[in-house]
Structure formats: C-alpha cells, structure tokens
Amino acid sequence: MAVPFINVLAPSMGGIGPIETADFGKLSRLNNGIPFYAGRFYPKKEDDAWINGLNFGLIARTPPWLTWDEIKPTQIWMVSLGDGEKIVETNTSIVRIDVWPRDDDHESGPWENNTYDDRIQTLGWGHNPTFWGDGVSIDNGIEIEQNYAGSNLVSLGAIGISTIEGVFTEYAFYDQELIYMNRRDLGQPELVVPEGEDPASYTELYRVRADGIWKQKNAPLTGDSTFNLDDLTGEDGYPKLPMTFVGDWDPSHADYGEWVHDNHYVIGLTDNNQQQVDTYLNRTWDELTKWTNDRTGSNVVIGASKAPMGQVIQLTASKLDTVVFTIKTSTKTLTGIPNLPFSPSTTAAFTEYAKANFADNLTSSIWYFYLPVKLNATMFARRKELLINREGIRKRDNPTAVSI
C-alpha cells in the first residue's frame, strides 16, 4: 500500500504536512463521513517561501487559505512501502466542501444548516457521493495534474506525484446575495408596470442568489423608502411569499441543479477572470446591473422587465466565513513483483499493461487531506463601488451618466 509523504516543513514549502494540533478538534466535529485525514494540504504560494521562516506542521497555527490567492503548482507525493510494490498511478480529486467548525468565541456563533443549505450543499458541495467522480475538482478554479511528469515511471514505481494549482474561487460561498429595487423614478422610465398598478409608486424588489433570481412585484416600502430585510427569508432559507422565483424552477423540486451546472447561478466564476471577479462577482450580477443601448428581452436575465438595476438595497456577504475542502488521493499499486520491467512509455500505457498482465496483484488505497479556505472579504469594497456606479438612480440627476 502506497502512503503519502508527510513533510513537517509543508506549511512553509507546500505539500502535505501533518495535522496541526489546533485542527484536531475541528476535524472531529466535521462528522462528514471521511474515515480519517492523513494530513493537511498546504498550497505553495511562492517558490522561495521557505526563506520567510520555517513553520513546523504539528505546532504551526497556519491560517486558512484565502479565495483568489494563486496556488503555485504544489505536489502531493505518494511513496511505495518497499520491495515488491510498484505505484502504477495516482488520482487526486477535490471531492467535498464542509463548513469549517467555528471556535466558541466566533462573533457569528455556530453555523446551523436550514433546508436551503442542505439542498444546495448536497448538490454543489460533493455531499452526494454519486455526483462527483475521480480526477475532478468541485471548484473549477483548481487544476489537477495526475501522475506528474510520469513520476511513477521515472521512479520505477517508487513515487507517484499529483500537482494542484490555480485559485479557490468563491464557488463554495453560495450565500452571497445582491438585493436591489426597480422603480420608474429611479432613472428607469422603461420599467414595465403591470396593468392596474400605479406607475408612480410601483416597485419591484429583486434578490439575486446562488439558486437564481427572486422577484416581488409591487413591494411595499417602509416610511423611509426602504424594506424590512429581516423578514424576507423563512426558516427554511427560501424567500417568503409573495417573492417568487423568476423562471420555471420550483424550490420543492428535489432535482434542481442550476447552481452546479449553469454559470448564471454559480457564485465563483469558472473562467477565473480576476478583473470580473473584482468588479461584479459573476455573469448574472453583471447582466442584471449593467446599462446597454440595446437592452431587449433577448439579453435580459430577468425576462419581462427591460430595466437595469434601479438602486442597490443590500450586498450580502457570506456568513459561511470559512469552509474546508477535502482532497482525495487514490493510488493503484502492484505488489509481489520485484523486477517488473517498465517498458511502456506513458503512464496510461503502463496502467493498461499492468491491469492486463498483473490484475491479481493490483491493489488500491485511498487517502484524504484537508484544507481550510476563507473568503477574501476585500472584494466587497471593489464590487460596491461598481454597483453604486451602475444604479439607475444616477440617471435621475445626470441623464448623460455612463455606467461602467
């Protein structure tokens, strides 16, 4: 059975390091079905990170990795146990996400899932064991290379290496939300007002969430022309009536999956365009707020209304704060064959050769590693600036205003 190479200097150098003492209690509270974690994955940030000071994994208090921080290619090494064992292939995946347990003194208190959280995590966080396969990453910002540089061939089966690089996007932080309202007097004379409603007071309230767009027609304003935002969500996590989902999806459907499959409803951009991330988070937020000269029904996500966003009501940050990614590495090894010739020229060819000729000697092992990831909150200030610039209300005071 091949085992992971645990490097006590991984907190400084990158790779798999030991579980930190401060993490043992939190891992025991995950209760996520993972039998055990063999170590913590430490992304490599700079090639010369070690010169900034050596940290030893057992005693280090390494902070969580931040979203959008670049991960330099970081290797996961699997090593054979000795004579007669040859590593045929390794396969690394990022298979699930969980809420990283909070300390007792956390300002937001413990996290408790509601119905919405359960459903969206089951479909988007890898909690459905049949949903995600090997060799993939839940977060599309991460790239994984298996059997790096034919390491299992070059080392004659003594070592198998996978590499991880890229960025963790905000995919995991699905509870971010844009809330805005539309009115004709907010620089939106083109707003479609339903028959029988007063054009001067008719207001639409929108909630743009990870599961789609929710709309309330003729939303009631308070005396100071705002909304009672504390009463918009039910205990199940879904918007209360009379807010309705824009589209055909019904939250009671067990098979909904737009958040996973459609870029419109994925919080983290899959193309990792840093400029877009800094400004409007994702494509949906961009399409709903930008001004265009040819804004017709064909390019408007919200359908009936052809007006862009009137005024920002609230930009909701993620309450998840920190999540933990589970990395799975499976290894196939041949045992009892001390002098196996490595004649195939590629890892794939050797794998097929081994399966065909030595199937009875082929064994598998699975190892799990963890990595806490924290939301980079600095993005919010940048997005707020753009959203305010895109408010339709600006046209009321300056008809020639141009949105960015």
Are both 158 and 204 inside the same structural domain? no
Query: Quick one: which of 158, 165, 160, 135 has its CA closest to 149?
Result: 160
Are both 78 and 186 inside the same structural domain? no
Question: Residue 162 pLDDT > 90, yes or no?
Answer: yes
Tell me, yes or no, whether 153 lies in a domain. Answer: yes
Are both 291 and 313 inside the same structural domain? yes
Distances (CA, A) of 249 to 208, 214, 297, 300: 14, 11, 19, 18
Tell me, yes or no, whether 403 lies in a domain. Answer: no
Are both 309 and 324 inside the same structural domain? no
Are both 214 and 184 inside the same structural domain? yes
Residue 322: the pLDDT is 95
Are both 115 and 39 inside the same structural domain? yes
Are both 163 and 192 inside the same structural domain? no
Q: Dig out the tokens for 90 from the structure.
A: 């390794």
355-397 per-position pLDDT tens digit: 665 655 667 789 999 999 999 888 877 788 888 888 888 877 7
How far is residue 78's CA from residue 83's CA, in Å, rounded to a whole number?
15
How far is residue 150's CA from residue 160's CA, in Å, rounded to a whole number?
8
Are both 141 and 164 inside the same structural domain? yes
Residue 225: the pLDDT is 64
- Model confidence pTM above 0.85: no
Are both 109 and 250 inside the same structural domain? no
Instruction: Give the highest mean pLDDT range of 17-21, 78-82, 222-226, 264-268.
Output: 17-21
Share of the chain above pLDDT 90, in %: 25
Residue 369: the pLDDT is 97
Q: What is the DSSP letter of 304?
A: T
Q: What is the DSSP letter of 18?
A: P
Question: Residue 401 pLDDT > 80, yes or no?
Answer: no
Tell me, yes or no, whether 404 lies in a domain. Answer: no
Question: Residue 77 pLDDT > 80, yes or no?
Answer: yes
222-241 per-position pLDDT tens digit: 666 677 777 889 999 988 88
Tell me, yes or no, whether 248 lies in a domain. Answer: yes
Domain of 313? 177-319+379-397
The overall average pLDDT reported for the chain is 78
How many distinct structural domains can be found in the chain?
Answer: 2
Backbone angles phi, psi at 128, to 5 degrees: -90, 110
Q: What is the mean predicted confidence (pLDDT) over 236-248? A: 82
Q: What is residue 41's three-state secondary structure?
A: strand
How far is residue 214's CA from residue 180's CA, in Å, rounded to a whole number?
11
85-114 per-position pLDDT tens digit: 778 888 999 999 999 998 877 777 788 999
Judging by DSSP bridges, how do beta strands 362-374 and 65-66 pair with one another? parallel
Residue 261: the pLDDT is 36
Instruction: Indicate if the alpha-carbon torsion angle 220, 226, 230, 236 is positive or negative.
Output: positive
Cβ contact 26:101 at 8 Å = yes
Amino acid, res. 34: I
Q: What is the mean predicted confidence (pLDDT) over 120-145? A: 77
Tell me, yes or no, whether 201 lies in a domain. Answer: yes
Q: How far is CA 55 from the centre of its chain?
A: 28
Query: Quick one: which of 284, 292, 302, 303 has its CA closest to 177?
Result: 284
How far is residue 368's CA from residue 98's CA, in Å, rounded to a whole number?
14
Tell me, yes or no, whether 117 lies in a domain. Answer: yes
CA geometry: angle at 276 spanning 272 and 280, to 5°? Answer: 125
Residue 186: the pLDDT is 85
Tell me, yes or no, whether 402 lies in a domain. Answer: no
How far is residue 143's CA from residue 165's CA, in Å, rounded to a whole number?
5
Are both 201 and 260 inside the same structural domain? yes
How far is residue 140's CA from residue 154's CA, in Å, rounded to a whole number?
30
Question: Within 13 Å of residue 42, how many CA atoms lie on the same side as its CB?
Answer: 28
Share of the chain above pLDDT 70, in %: 72
Are both 12 and 154 inside the same structural domain? yes
Residues constituting the chain: 404
Question: Residue 324 pLDDT > 90, yes or no?
Answer: yes
Are both 285 and 359 inside the same structural domain? no
Tell me, yes or no, whether 351 lies in a domain. Answer: yes
Strands (E), 21-140: 39-42, 65-66, 71-79, 85-99
